[in-house]
Amino acid sequence: MKTPLSIDFKIGTILAMLVAVMGIVSLFYTPYDYNEMEPSNRFISPRVSHLMGTDNFGRDVFSRIMIGGRYTLAVSLLTVLGSAGIGASLGLVSGYIGGIWDEIVMRLMDGLSSFPGILSALVMIALLENSPFTLIIALLILFIPSYVRILRSGMLQYKNADFVKTATIMGASHVRIIFVHILPNLTGSLLSSTVLGLSNAILAEATMSYLGLGIQPPIPSWGRMLSESQNFLFNAPWCALAPGIMIMLTVIAFHYIGEGIRQIS
């Protein structure tokens, strides 16, 4: 009998779909040019013509939220897929081979984890060119150790199982045993961790953008919008509330989805 989907999973899916649809629609349409400045429209409060109001340059906040969501999701998705792919491969191979290779990989992961994650990303971005590609690489390295540990733990659980011994006796190669016989048993944990990682990646990207080391102008990002609006928080609170609420809802959405997958896997 199938395990029923939790209400949290359903809520998270609906929220994530809304954010994703908004980002996709922004590829073809936004209510206004996200960079168009209209000094006469400065600090217009939310209304029908400007659903989330305008900022200190008269730019439509909703249009900028749509564009910023597209880039935030793209950076987070590439970060998580890259770190999950690299981390899962290292974890599976490390756990399967064991011995000195396992020790080297795990000590390397311990070394990466010993530094504060955001600080490591800050140093990398400060040393290299400040670009979306550098941001993705910095965050990707930040998330690799967690996937290595999760998949290594799963490999240690299954590598001595009867079905693995049977496959070995029948002459299956090590690559086939790892990726055909064992990995399918870990897809639930990997998928759950990947979706949960999306919420962490979105929060990390927003933090980096807030500090001025993420996506650079003229492209809007939710974190930078928060940073830019803090000087007029009391005069035009909608400028900060809009990106803040979007970050919160998106993080909650993927957290709920990840928890839901974990419960049924």
First CA to last CA across the chain, in angstroms? Answer: 13
Selection from 116, 80, 78 nearest residue 124 by Cα = 116
**Residue 60 backbone phi and psi in degrees, to 5:** -70, 120
- Which candidate, 246, 228, 218, 217, places its Cα nearest to that of 54? 228
Mean pLDDT on 14-18: 91
Peptide bond connecting 218 to the previous residue in cis, omega within 30 degrees of 0: yes
Q: Domain 7-26+53-264: which topology? A: MetI-like fold (1.10.3720)
Helix, strand, or coil (residue 237): coil
Tell me the per-residue pLDDT of 71-110, one tens digit each, with 9 for 90 and over.
888 888 999 999 999 999 999 999 888 889 888 988 888 8
Phi-psi region of 212 (alpha: psi -120 to 50; beta: other; left: phi over 0): left
Using alpha carbons only, how large is the chain's radius of gyration in Å?
A: 22
Domain boundaries, the chain: 7-26+53-264
Using CA atoms, how far apart are residues 177 and 1, in angstroms rounded to an integer?
29
Residues 6 or more apart whose Cβ sits within 8 Å of residue 175: none
In terms of pTM, does the model score above 0.75?
Answer: yes
Dihedral of CA atoms 241, 243, 249, 250 in degrees, nearest 10, equals: -170
Q: What is the pLDDT of residue 1?
A: 43
Contact predicate 204/117, CB 8 Å: yes
241-257 residues labelled b (16+ CB within 10 A) or e (exposed): bbbbebbeebbbbbbbb
DSSP state of 54: B
3-state secondary structure of 233: coil
Chain segment 23-50, per-residue pLDDT in tens = 899 888 889 888 888 888 888 888 888 8
- pLDDT tens column, 181-239: 888 888 888 888 898 888 888 888 888 888 877 777 788 889 889 988 888 888 889 99
Cα–Cα distance for residue pair 257/265, rounded to 1 Å: 12
Measured distance CA(91)–CA(155) in Å, rounded:
8
Express each pLDDT in 138-192 by its tens digit: 888 888 998 999 999 988 888 888 888 888 888 888 888 888 888 888 888 888 8
Closest of 79, 52, 117, 121 to residue 254, by C-alpha: 79
d(CA 46, CA 27): 23
Q: Residues with Cβ < 8 Å from 7, sequence gap 6 or more? A: none
Say if CB 223 and CB 206 are below 8 A apart. Answer: yes
